[in-house]
Structure 1
Amino acid sequence: MEKYFDIIKNSYSGYFNYLISEITSFHWENYFYGLLIISLTIWGLEILFPWRKNQKIFREDFWLDTFYLFFNFFLLNLIALIALSNTAAEIFNDFLNVFGASLSNFQLFDASKLPWLLGLFIFFIVADFIQWGTHILLHRIPFLWNFHKTHHSVKEMGFAAHFRYHWMEPVVYKSILYIPIAIIGGYNIEAVAIVHFFNITIGHLNHANIGWDYGPFKYILNNPKMHIWHHSKEMPNKYGVNFGITLSIWDYIFKTNYIPYSGRDIELGFHDDDEYPKKFINQELYPWSSKENSINKKK
């Protein structure tokens, strides 16, 4: 047990030092300034090429979503996520050791021994597919949907809405993603940084007030005209549509795609969202209330 406490303590101090280092130094894989550059660039595109021309630059909940952007990208890791992730990984490895095994025994191949671009491509494809499947679970499992409602409480789309999500979401995503990514093995920090920045860029664009669909590439890449239907208040089914994170191809393959017409002016949200709290703290507490847990499905 003392080992796990040491992991938690070291995770806190290690991430705090890392965060200070990111803020005070600049390098190409710097996540702090990378997020700032991507966010400001796409906000600029929203201002120059607005899809909904009557939508204000400082739209509804702009500052709430900006807080979510920095909280979920940096502070959440400092508060809990890194410590939980490191501890969970160690507990899982200790569990395997009981049976005389380790995660390396399940490794399918070492991506570091593949050509760099091929290893990067496999890492990206596997991660995106797993996240697509996890996203569907967030809609289909009532307990998880109560957390995912935070993201679907957005009423006006803008780039920062990408990061409006409850802190439990990355716990779910990372937990499900951990083993599939670990059994690939061998991916390096450069590959992770490239995929991470690309995913953030596409995610920001998906939520931005920009009417792009990328032409023929819309069948591969998720895009604003597709993703806005994922946020539609009125759905063609009980669970939702267009679950793609970065890639749209999974939705087309598995027939969860839906773009009946331009969704520029559709109403966003979910059933009974007028009862959903407006403030950050109340949104974080929402899933734990007994009243709201009884309202556990979209209607």
Structure 2
Amino acid sequence: MEKYLKIIKDSFTGYFNYLVDEISNPSWTNYFYWLIGLSLLVWVLEILIPWRKNQAVFRKGFWLDSFYILFNFFLFSLVGYNAISNVGVELFNDFLALFGIENLVAIEVQDLPAWSQLLIMFVIADFIQWNVHRQLHRRPWLWKFHKIHHSVKEMGFAAQFRFHFMETIVYKSVQYIPLAMIGFGIQEFFIVHMFAVFIGHLNHANLGWNYGIFGYLLNNPKMHIWHHSKKLPKDRPYGMNYGLSLSIWDYLFGTAYIPKNGKNIELGFEGDENFPEGFGKQLAYPFQHKQTTTQKKFNKIRNHENKTI
């Protein structure tokens, strides 16, 4: 027990010192300034070449999403996620040690060229995220958390960051074992993560891009807008276009859907007019929410279809 308490203490102080160092000592691998730089770059593109020209620069929800950036990528880890995840990793390693297993590395990639390591990590991580994203829509208890992201009514780059902190826990927990089986360095992870953040910025941005033929490989604004559509096709009650960075998974597994230009479609979900708009109320929503008659009916359809899949 003393070991785990020390991990918690070291995690809090370590992450606090990390944040201070990130802000006070800019470098080429500085996540804080890369995030700010990429955000400003995509925001400038939105201002110069907006897809929806009547949408305000400071769109509806802009400041809320900006605070989600601060919370989800910095404050959440300081509040406790970093400590909890470090304890979780240590507990998992101690569990493996009971069976004489020192680590889960099954595939050695350290001797491969750097570019191939980056590509392998990116593809594996994105495929896992695509599957997790599908479950966020298919499982009622996960959908309650994911609703926060879909409460966005006007799309812009910062909308990427409006999500409940439980999504971080779900994504990272599911990713841990597969990625732990492959050895990657911190620098490689940073590069892959920042590229994914950039693609995510563009997907949610007020930009009318689809990348031409490369749109079948990379997710893009004209594809992702349909993922946020309030009105869902009858044959797609869970939604569509689940790709985070890559769109290829949706085309391969039949979840791609771009019926027409989605420039002015209504965004959100059924019943979102009663969804809380404040940060605190949104975080509390999944834990307090009681299903409405409409949601019960929707979940009944989902559960029935789950049994037939």
TM-score, L = length of structure 1: 0.96
Q: Verify: 1:204 aligned to 2:201, yes or no.
A: yes
Q: Which amino acid aligns with 1:289?
A: Q
| Cα distance in 2, alignment partners of residues 170 and 283 from structure 1 | 16
Task: Report the Cα offset of residue 198 of structure 1.
Answer: 0.6
* Match of residue 287 from structure 1: 286
* Match of residue 257 from structure 2: 258
Out of 147, 152, 155, the position equivalent to 2:153 is 155
Task: Report the Cα offset of residue 290 of structure 1.
Answer: 4.5
Aligned-residue CA RMSD in angstroms?
Answer: 1.4
Match of 1:112, SS? coil
Q: Which amino acid aligns with 2:229?
A: S
Out of 224, 228, 253, the position equivalent to 1:227 is 224
Out of 171, 175, 197, the position equivalent to 1:177 is 175
| Cα distance in 2, alignment partners of residues 101 and 145 from structure 1 | 36
* Match of residue 33 from structure 1: 33
Task: Report the Cα offset of residue 220 of structure 1.
Answer: 0.5
Q: Tell me, which stretches of 5 or more residues in structure 1 are unaligned? A: none
Q: Which amino acid aligns with 2:180?
A: A
| Cα distance in 2, alignment partners of residues 78 and 167 from structure 1 | 12
* Match of residue 4 from structure 1: 4
* Match of residue 77 from structure 1: 77
* Match of residue 53 from structure 2: 53
Q: Which amino acid aligns with 1:216?
A: I
* Match of residue 238 from structure 1: 237
- The CA deviation string for residues 237-293 of structure 1, in whole angstroms up to 9 with x for no partner, is 111100001000100000100000010000000010111101000000000015149
Task: Report the Cα offset of residue 81 of structure 1.
Answer: 1.6
Task: Report the Cα offset of residue 47 of structure 1.
Answer: 0.2
Q: Tell me, which stretches of 5 or more residues in structure 2 are unaligned? A: 302-309
| Cα distance in 2, alignment partners of residues 122 and 243 from structure 1 | 20
| Cα distance in 2, alignment partners of residues 177 and 84 from structure 1 | 16
| Cα distance in 1, alignment partners of residues 214 and 53 from structure 2 | 25
* Match of residue 144 from structure 1: 142
Q: Percent identity?
A: 57
Task: Report the Cα offset of residue 201 of structure 1.
Answer: 0.6
Task: Report the Cα offset of residue 96 of structure 1.
Answer: 1.3
Match of 2:69, SS? helix
| Cα distance in 2, alignment partners of residues 13 and 206 from structure 1 | 35
Q: Verify: 1:216 aligned to 2:213, yes or no.
A: yes
TM-score, L = length of structure 2: 0.93
Match of 2:148, SS? helix
| Cα distance in 2, alignment partners of residues 74 and 293 from structure 1 | 34
* Match of residue 276 from structure 2: 277
Q: After the TM superposition, which parts of structure 1 deviate over 3 Å for at least 4 consecutive aligned residues? A: 292-299
**1:91-110 residue pairs with structure 2 within 5 A?**
91-102=91-102, 104=103, 106-110=104-108
Task: Report the Cα offset of residue 99 of structure 1.
Answer: 1.9
Match of 1:111, SS? coil
| Cα distance in 2, alignment partners of residues 8 and 90 from structure 1 | 11
Q: Verify: 1:267 aligned to 2:298, yes or no.
A: no
Match of 2:218, SS? coil
Q: Which amino acid aligns with 2:225?
A: I
Q: Which amino acid aligns with 2:42?
A: I
Q: Would the aligned equivalents of 1:146 and 1:293 in 2 still touch at CA under 8 Å?
A: no
Task: Report the Cα offset of residue 108 of structure 1.
Answer: 2.1
